[in-house]
């Protein structure tokens, strides 16, 4: 299993698990909470078939990566991504962030620029600023984040089971676009994550990325479902699109938060069209 060291805690390296497949222009897939790189199954297959090099990795604290007691903030997540791109010698990549993974894309571009990046894709992303504040009145009530953290402290496995039903709008699509087994697989991945990482990342969701987005100058695609119960379309993708002149917004009708599974065909079509339009000339 491939790992790379990005940091250190006490006596041990902090290592990220990653997978690097295929050849062609690089696409880096950055997963959402509380899952891992395995959540990109349907995109991985489509991208490899279309002739792309596909890199997935597990965020620190999740999947098969190290589970330290530190570093669950976006400055650290962006630094981890920079280490990954540097150590794998990845250039001219398209960064694709799902949900909280969109935060890595924004913070990375804000901090490290686009020297290694050709394009950016935000899928059901938490950008530009999810937490309500005086200068962000359309954001989500901070009490929502506090309630999630309280539920995680009380019974994390139970909360994750309930959360994933809303993640996929399960009752709307069971037997049609999703199965019980997919939800169980997602629960198993989520349950094996670090309890501390699962908790601390909720605080990171409130990060304000508006200053980072002011530095974005690469072609950008935004994909979001109009039935997203976790990250509402109007609080995120609509505002992100307005902040990024020239970006393209693809709204997936009926799409829940986990639309990269339930609406994989629609997501993959939008993603591949964007990649092909920005594919480097041979």
Q: Where are the domains of the chain?
A: 3-277
Residues annotated as catalytic are 99, 228, 257
Range 107-116 average pLDDT: 97
User: Which of the following CATH numbers is that of domain 3-277: 3.30.565.10, 3.40.50.1820, 2.60.260.20, 1.20.120.1200?
Assistant: 3.40.50.1820
- 281, pLDDT greater than 90: no
What is the band of 261 on the pLDDT scale with cuts at 50, 70, 90? very high
Could you tell me the pTM of the whole model?
A: 0.97
The predicted pLDDT at position 282 comes to 61
The predicted pLDDT at position 209 comes to 98
- CB within 8 Å of 159: residues ≥ 6 apart: 148, 151, 152
How far from each other are the two terminal CA atoms of the chain, in whole angstroms?
A: 32
- CB within 8 Å of 26: residues ≥ 6 apart: 52, 53, 54, 55, 90, 91, 92, 93, 94
Range 116-132 average pLDDT: 97
- 280, pLDDT greater than 90: no
Q: Find, among 132, 137, 255, 131, the residue nearest to 202 by Cα.
A: 131
What is the band of 71 on the pLDDT scale with cuts at 50, 70, 90? very high
Range 83-101 average pLDDT: 97
Range 191-217 average pLDDT: 96
Sequence-distant contacts of 3-7: CB under 8 A, at least 24 apart: 3/65, 4/83, 4/84, 4/87, 4/88, 6/60, 6/79, 6/80, 6/83, 6/84, 7/60, 7/68, 7/71, 7/76, 7/79, 7/80, 7/83
Range 48-55 average pLDDT: 98
């Amino acid at each position: 299993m491939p790992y790379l060291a990005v940091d250190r805690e006490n006596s041990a390296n902090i290592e990220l698990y990653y997978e690097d497949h295929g050849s062609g222009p690089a696409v880096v897939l950055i997963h959402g909470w509380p899952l891992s790189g395995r959540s990109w199954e349907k995109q991985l297959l489509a991208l490899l078939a279309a002739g792309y090099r596909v890199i997935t990795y597990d965020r620190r604290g999740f999947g098969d990566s190290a589970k330290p007691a530190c570093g669950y903030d976006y400055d650290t997540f962006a630094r981890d991504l920079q280490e990954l791109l540097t150590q794998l010698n990845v250039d001219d990549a398209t960064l694709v962030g799902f949900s909280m993974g969109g935060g890595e894309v924004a913070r990375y571009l804000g901090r490290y620029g686009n020297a290694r990046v050709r394009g950016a894709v935000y899928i059901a992303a938490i950008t530009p600023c999810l937490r309500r504040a005086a200068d962000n009145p359309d954001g989500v009530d901070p009490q929502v984040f506090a309630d999630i953290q309280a539920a995680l402290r009380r019974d994390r496995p139970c909360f994750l089971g309930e959360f994933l039903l809303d993640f996929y709008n399960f009752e709307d699509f069971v037997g049609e676009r999703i199965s019980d087994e997919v939800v169980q697989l997602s629960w198993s991945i989520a349950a094996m994550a670090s309890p501390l990482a699962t908790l601390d990342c909720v605080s990171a969701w409130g990060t304000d990325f508006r200053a980072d987005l002011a530095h974005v100058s690469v072609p950008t695609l935004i994909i979001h479902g109009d039935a997203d119960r976790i990250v509402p379309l109007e609080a995120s993708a609509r505002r992100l699109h307005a902040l990024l002149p020239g970006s393209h917004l693809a709204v997936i009708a009926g799409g829940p938060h986990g639309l990269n599974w339930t609406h994989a065909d629609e997501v993959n079509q939008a993603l591949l069209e964007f990649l092909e339009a920005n594919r480097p000339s041979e």
